[in-house]
Chains A and B, each alone.
Chain A
Amino acid sequence: MTARAHDDGPPEHRLLALYHTMVMARAIERRLWVLEHLEQIPPHQPLGPPRDSAGVAKARVGMDSFVCTGLEAVQVAAAAALRPGRDWIVPCPTDLALCLAVGLSPLDVMLAVFGRASDPASGGRQSPGAFGSRAARVVMTSATAGRHVVQAAGIAYASKLLGHDEVTLVCTDERSIQSGDWHEGINFAGAHSLPLIFLIEDRARTDGPVAQHSYGSPVDRAEGYGLAGESIDGSDFDTALAAFGRATERARSQGGGTVIHALAVDLTSKVAGGGLRPPEELEALARQDPIDRTRRRLLEAGVLHAADDEQIQRDCATVVAAAVEEARAAPSPDGPRALDNVFSRG
């Protein structure tokens, strides 16, 4: 299978836009890693945040709660199968590329990272990685593993009860499928044949505690609960696109839910159980980089040209740099405004 403009697939300009989003997500994350090293304060620092010469506290930059690297292809493929603003997305903190693909901007992300008042998702309240937009139907979730999965089942139940042609996508990493709420959600979805897609973004970061291991594949579990299930190469954009096409078609034709178990690679240097990967291992993993694989295929198919690719890389770097500067300069919320929006009035 090769990435190209199929009759039944995305047109070329859409493929390029999706690739652009993948590159953008990576550019944002790379920039955040640098910012974190430059500016983040240790949470245990006893003397409070560092201050500039005028005594003003430096912005705290937090990003370590989300790592999208390695998941860009499967995320934009999911977005390509959905209808932004109509279908529902219930993300987890790794879903940067997914959320960008359905309408969140790099500036939105940076405003959240800096905790600014104009952060459209939460006004700087939630930790970075809590994406959300009512307009885009990206549901803001919490930091607890799996709670949002059963909520997604409720969203899909409402779609069915109201007779709305909507699909809901809910995402977790490979660890959250151990939680009770994941099972309660998938059980409810199976019982009611809901238009719901469960994406498991599995970077196999389970080489640590034995308690994190699953005994039995998620696909077997899906079938046990009455859902369809498939395991895919989550680093392969075309494979993912085809899987989401089948899942959304099943959902829209009242065929019920699907679990998509996307196997991807962890391209970061940190090992889940502690320590760093040796360079030769990182080099081997890098050959599985979903962005590189997508780029090669788009180049081979003639959809993307080398010069265009360079332009995309430059554009993304420029946009991200501008977003960082704008977010850095944006005002923080006033302390007492912490009292707002506890209830509907007041």
Chain B
Amino acid sequence: MPEMRMIEAVRAAMSEEMERDERVLVMGEDVGRKGGVFGATDGLYAKFGEARVLDTPLAESGIVGVAIGAALNGLIPIAEIQFADFIHPAFDQIVSEAARTRYRSNGDWSVPLVIRAPFGGGVHGGLYHSQSIEAFYAHVPGLKVVVPSMPADAKGLLKSAIRDPDPVLFLEHKKVYRLVAEEVPDGDHLVPIGPALVRREGTRLSCFAWGLMTHYCLQAAEELAAGGISVEVVDLRSLAPLDRDTILESVRKTGKAMIVHEDNLTGGFGAEVAAIISEHAFDSLDGPVVRVAGPDIPAMPFNTPQEEFFMPNPAKIAEAMRKLAAY
């Protein structure tokens, strides 16, 4: 098995699926000759040609709208939104169109479509290259929202997304692209969309996260382990559908729950996880359900002190873990 970083795993998934199925194409701003601003589509243009590795106008509603139409007519598009911050002009195409097509036609039409979008902060991206957008979309029935945190998962989940008959929003954290490398299985490595994964077993509290925050939670858990506090870290991987069973099983074991996300606190996806725990594992709780999240300010500032103020990090998370463990 080759060792890959997430960016390479994403590229491998697309390349393999395009080889396997001629209906698969990628499209977006600069995905062709340039190979994408992060290099996710590097080499695909030379391999598959401009018709299947399509540079689009800089118009996100158009990118997703064209992809929807192509899907209606038998293709399997992977639409790249260059930065998740720029996805908002396509909100209506995603929410009112792609996610609703099967429903409004009572099953007559469907939109097999993957929308990939690099997201997240901590890279000095400023207000418009740092956003976390998952909560907007995980709210929408008819749309799947997947957020891998590790290279092997990125490949397996993306291949599953491409083969999924329904629209999938696939969020790739920019800072994770080159953060870690791990062995990634060759060939038809498929990770089903839905199940969460317990990344670290623990007994004193459960910590739920996705994307970059999974890594930070694991680092914080390691720090707490040195002090004798055992923390379970659950990588949700998919926010829609959400693996409620794994969440509840973990909380029933540890009795304490924490959700960590870098999206701002209010109305973030952590609120939904907290509500599920409160509603279905209340009797097992031995402390308040805690959220560690970005502050409620419009977006992540560019300057270093304020970016650091915004981002949850292992130290902040470890502090919150200690406080909850001691409750």
A→B interface (CB under 8 Å): 88, 119-123, 125-126, 130, 132-134, 139-140, 142, 144, 147, 149-159, 161-162, 166, 180-181, 184-185, 187-188, 191, 340-344
Contact = CB atoms under 8 A, between A and B. Distances in A.
Given A151-B72, A342-B141, A344-B166, A184 B57 contact: yes
B158 to A, nearest CB: 18
Contacts of B68: 151, 154
Contacts of B73: 88, 154-155, 158-159, 162, 166
Nearest to A123: B106
A191 B69 contact: no
A150 B109 contact: no
B267 to A, nearest CB: 22
B253 interface: no
A140 B70 contact: no
Residue of B66, B70, B100, B102 contacting most chain A CB atoms (<10 Å) = B66
A130 B104 contact: yes
Nearest to B106: A123
B65 A153 contact: yes
12 contacts: A121-B108, A122-B105, A125-B104, A142-B96, A150-B66, A151-B69, A154-B73, A157-B69, A159-B73, A180-B61, A184-B57, A341-B102
A188 B20 CA distance: 28
Contact of B102 (A154, A155, A344): A344
B62 interface: yes
A185 B31 CA distance: 20
B74 to A, nearest CB: 6
A203 to B, nearest CB: 26
A151 B97 contact: yes
Contacts of A122: 104-106, 108
Contacts of A154: 65-73, 77
Task: Rank and list the top 7 A-B pairs by shortest CB-CB distance, nearest first.
Answer: A154-B69, A150-B65, A184-B62, A123-B106, A158-B73, A154-B66, A151-B69
A337 to B, nearest CB: 9
Contacts of B201: none
A344 B97 contact: no
A341 B75 contact: no
B92 A147 contact: yes
Contacts of A153: 62, 65-66, 69
Contacts of B69: 150-158
B128 interface: no
B61 A184 contact: yes
Nearest to A152: B69
Nearest to B141: A342
Nearest to A149: B65
A169 B65 CA distance: 16
B265 to A, nearest CB: 29
Contacts of A188: 56-57, 62, 66
B137 to A, nearest CB: 15
Nearest to A141: B97
Contacts of B298: none
B96 A147 contact: yes
Nearest to B22: A162
B263 to A, nearest CB: 24
B107 A341 contact: yes
A94 B72 CA distance: 22
B150 interface: no
A147 to B, nearest CB: 6
A162 B61 CA distance: 23
Contact of B142 (A140, A187, A342): A342
Contact of A144 (B72, B96, B102, B108): B96
A144 B25 CA distance: 27
A130 B69 CA distance: 17
Contact of A147 (B67, B97, B142): B97
Contacts of B287: none
Given A140-B108, A154-B73, A340-B107, A161 B66 contact: no
B169 to A, nearest CB: 14
A140 B115 CA distance: 21
